[in-house]
Structure 1
Amino acid sequence: MDEKIIGFEKQIKTEYNNVTGVIVLKNGRMVYEGYFNGYTSQDTVHVMSVTKSIISALIGIAIDKGYIKDVDQKVLEFFPEYTVKRGEKTIQEVTLRHMLTMTAPYKYRSEPYTKVYKSDDWTKAALDLLGGRSGITGEFKYSTVGAQILSGILVRATGRSVLDFAAENLLVPMDIAVPQSKEIRDKEEHISFIKSKYSSGWIVDKTGVNTAGWGLCLTPRDMAKVGELYLNGGIYHGRQILASNWIEESTKEKSRWGELPYGYLWWIIPTKSGLCYAAIGDGGNMIFVHPVKKMVVALTALFSLRPNNKLELVTEHIIPMFE
């Protein structure tokens, strides 16, 4: 084995010891595949907020197929039965664009995870948090519970479950195993799922709506396929799965968190060797795409309270090693 690879794998085991899998693709060819912590290529991992970027792709497909008009459609158009509280005008102005760019306003300082996930209908609970007195300021406000509204929109727009829509239009066409829906009933089960070593499925609430902000389990190979799909302008094995213009728009700066640009539920990553983009989840789960170098890095990792910076691992170590 190459000395560089030996050194790299040693670094993973010592400095990044919550990593379970790494795949590197270059010019459509797999140049590295490695597994750690007892994992194999068949084991799925809860990819945390990478789920958001998968939802972004599904929104793009729903727009392309005519289920959703465009990103400027108002959120409440999908929930005509929702009762707006007296004096609350802001929520009526929120669009899909605000949801996708994390510029929607909310009525909380810190995310009320327990309140939302204890409710029977997570979409309704998230809608109840949307709005506020300040109006829509364009301020970036990252929200995992708020993202749930996008799952509710997909269900309302398509008339199908998120899982069924994803299976038909994204997962099966890309040879990705369709996960089973999995319900969690209380805070303990929620924590257990997040901390579990071998997670599987896609979390749903009691109404059967899959999560949008977290809760999806994938393998590194699944994630690498998604990265390759984006790198290739939405084409997988000669079939157009996702519109190229959606990918282009999703990976352009639409908002910004500090110095880090954000697209449609994808992070934009400036590097010395060109502008890249990534789906990033807690613990260091990541789909990293480097368009200039035609590279994709897929990384899965277990939940960790203090994970080392995986973005630095990818940009400073993995990309230079395989470019």
Structure 2
Amino acid sequence: MHRNYWPTKDWQTSDSAALGMDTEKLSEIEAKIKSDYSNINGIVVARNGYIAYEQYYNGYGPEDLHHVASITKSIVSALIGIAIDAGYIKHVDQKVLDFFPEYVPSDAAGQLQKQEITLRHLLTMTAPYAFEDWHEPLEQMCKSSDWVKYTLDILGRQGNVGDFKYSTAGAHLLSAIITRCTGKSAREFANEHLFSHIGMKEIPDYEMKSFGFDDLFGVNVKGWVEDPHRITTGGWGLTLSPRDMARFGLLFLNRGKWENNQIISETWIEESIAMNANHYGYLWWLREEDGVYSYSALGDGGNVICCIPEKKLVVAITSEFTLQPRDRWPLIKDYIIPSVLV
């Protein structure tokens, strides 16, 4: 898509009607958020690369950063693609254990399956782990002194390679692999090869002083969390503003291209968001509903980057963490998508 403006320095806002959107329908979001989504702190709706709607709540503003939880995974997925494009990693079917030649298993359990697991399995959440589906004991990894060894130990057990099993620890291995291959932390690699190119703020280095709940997940999260070996967390821990989240979504909507630069290869974007039986791409959630296809980076508490290519829409939502927040999809489906007129 040819455009003469990119929100590299600043986002431009445009009258929603000029962007082919129903202003009245869009404005209904306000009351809906206040009545049903009180933990939303910021929302940006961008169409054709312009901000059509933007609101902040609970004392937050455009520059405020939020811990976006598992949205971090979709960023790490993009970094793997960039590392492959740049030749740091050969391809997605490289075996995970190849990146950790010094690893010595703690026991024989799961050894055969462990050897089969590739980057693609980690990216698509189709590697087995020693826990029940959706009951990952993340606190055990966080209490460990070596998160990578902990994750390699639980990898390859309890299940079959190829079956979907959501794992945050698995995403952390991808971050460790980026560091193994590039010599840089995922945070440094992201700043240099992704964020700086599309106008996202540089993520500063905050050295972790302790590893309690608030340091890892809560009020003390700053910059991008790292493990005791200073490996950037792959599954959560990144802080972003809604506008920077929308920039990342727009990069994907433009198939990896920004201004005149191909930041992520178009092939990687296509693979990342290709619909499949699990409705899960390369650390992106996929949805097809009422003939509308979308892909989303989703984070605990109701943090969202939702891309709807057919409507040229990116929706970025930051939220205060609450347990079992109301699903954001009805807000997007019932108010934002129907506001697109042409």
Query: What is the TM-score when the length of structure 2 is the normalising length?
Result: 0.87
SS at match of 2:64: coil
**Structure 1 CA distance for aligned equivalents of residues 211 and 152 of structure 2:** 20
What is the aligned partner in structure 1 of residue 239 from structure 2?
Answer: 217
State the shift of 1:133 in Å: 5.6
On the 8 A contact 2:214/2:221 being kept in 1, the answer is no
Are 2:112 and 1:94 aligned? Answer: no
State the shift of 1:232 in Å: 0.5
- What is the aligned counterpart of 2:270 among 205, 229, 248? 248
**Structure 2 CA distance for aligned equivalents of residues 56 and 116 of structure 1:** 21
Amino acid at match of 1:13: K
**Structure 2 CA distance for aligned equivalents of residues 68 and 32 of structure 1:** 39
On the 8 A contact 2:129/2:158 being kept in 1, the answer is no
On the 8 A contact 2:28/2:335 being kept in 1, the answer is no
Structure 1 pair 76–103 and aligned structure 2 pair: CA distance change class (3 A): same
State the shift of 1:180 in Å: 2.5
Are 2:291 and 1:280 aligned? Answer: no
- What is the aligned counterpart of 2:318 among 265, 277, 300? 300
SS at match of 1:81: coil
SS at match of 1:280: strand
- What is the aligned counterpart of 2:75 among 49, 54, 70? 54
**Structure 2 CA distance for aligned equivalents of residues 51 and 184 of structure 1:** 21
Amino acid at match of 1:123: V
What is the aligned partner in structure 2 of residue 126 from structure 1?
Answer: 151
Aligned runs of 1:121-160 on 2, under 5 Å? 121-132=146-157, 134-136=159-161, 138-160=162-184
Amino acid at match of 1:127: L
Q: How many aligned positions are there?
A: 315
- What is the aligned counterpart of 1:111 among 136, 140, 154? 136
Amino acid at match of 1:100: L
**Structure 2 CA distance for aligned equivalents of residues 36 and 147 of structure 1:** 31
On the 8 A contact 2:127/2:160 being kept in 1, the answer is no
Aligned runs of 1:1-323 on 2, under 5 Å? 4-84=25-105, 85-86=107-108, 88-109=111-132, 110-132=135-157, 134-136=159-161, 138-182=162-206, 183=208, 185-190=210-215, 194-196=217-219, 199-256=221-278, 261-323=279-341
Query: For each residue in 1:197-233, what CA deviation from the matched residue of structure 2 results, as whole angstroms up to 9, or x when unmatched?
Result: x853100011111111111010000110011000101
Amino acid at match of 1:314: I
Query: For each residue in 1:81-135, what CA deviation from the matched residue of structure 2 results, as whole angstroms up to 9, or x when unmatched?
Result: 0113436211111000100000000012231212111122222211111011644
State the shift of 1:11 in Å: 1.4
On the 8 A contact 1:201/1:217 being kept in 2, the answer is yes
SS at match of 1:215: coil
SS at match of 1:69: coil
Structure 1 pair 11–199 and aligned structure 2 pair: CA distance change class (3 A): farther
On the 8 A contact 1:181/1:210 being kept in 2, the answer is no
SS at match of 1:89: helix
State the shift of 1:237 in Å: 2.1
On the 8 A contact 1:103/1:255 being kept in 2, the answer is no
Amino acid at match of 2:145: D
State the shift of 1:283 in Å: 1.3
SS at match of 1:126: helix
**Structure 1 CA distance for aligned equivalents of residues 246 and 202 of structure 2:** 16
Structure 1 pair 120–178 and aligned structure 2 pair: CA distance change class (3 A): farther
Superposed CA RMSD: 1.8
Unmatched 5+ residue regions in structure 1? none
**Structure 1 CA distance for aligned equivalents of residues 273 and 248 of structure 2:** 14
On the 8 A contact 1:181/1:201 being kept in 2, the answer is yes
Q: Work out the percentage of aligned pairs sharing the same amino acid.
A: 46
